[in-house]
């Protein structure tokens, strides 16, 4: 069965880019969220196999959303995405339970590698 993925990014074109890469490679899109609050809600609704989560988003940032999702589901697989290669954020994401980290602009190979690593 195709793995379902929830895409969380405040930029619609980023969600579209990621969706395009994933769909072309046989993944199912569980849903999309434009901020951390929506990401937490959508996760509860859809129970995806994986979440691709942007760090910098309005309402609730990706790291807060990651922590909230992990609270409700310790087994959640989440890969963080960010344009800023900020060491502190990468470290905080990983310490908070993220499986991996992808830097924008996205390289399709890197997105797929992170997804495959996270969901097997």
Q: Please count the other Cβ atoms lying within 10 Å of the Cβ belonging to residue 24.
A: 10
* pLDDT of amino acid 84: 64
* pLDDT tens-place values along the chain, 120 residues long: 789 999 999 999 999 999 999 999 999 999 999 999 999 999 999 999 999 999 999 999 999 999 999 999 999 999 999 876 677 888 899 999 999 999 888 889 999 999 999 997
* pLDDT of amino acid 83: 79
Angle, helices 87-95 vs 62-72, to 10°: value is: 10
CA-to-CA distance for 102 and 50, rounded, in angstroms? 14
CA-to-CA distance for 38 and 22, rounded, in angstroms? 21
* pLDDT of amino acid 105: 82
């Amino acid at each position: 069965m195709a793995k379902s993925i929830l895409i969380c990014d405040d930029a619609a074109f980023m969600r579209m880019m990621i969706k395009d890469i994933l769909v072309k490679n046989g993944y199912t899109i569980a849903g999309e969220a434009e901020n951390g609050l929506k990401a937490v809600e959508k996760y509860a609704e859809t129970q995806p196999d994986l979440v691709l989560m942007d760090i910098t988003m309005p309402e609730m940032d990706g790291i807060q959303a990651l922590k909230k999702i992990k609270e409700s589901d310790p087994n959640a697989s989440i890969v963080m995405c960010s344009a800023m290669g900020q060491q502190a954020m990468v470290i905080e994401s990983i310490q908070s339970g993220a499986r991996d980290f992808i830097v924008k602009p996205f390289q399709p190979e890197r997105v797929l590698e992170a997804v495959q690593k996270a969901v097997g």
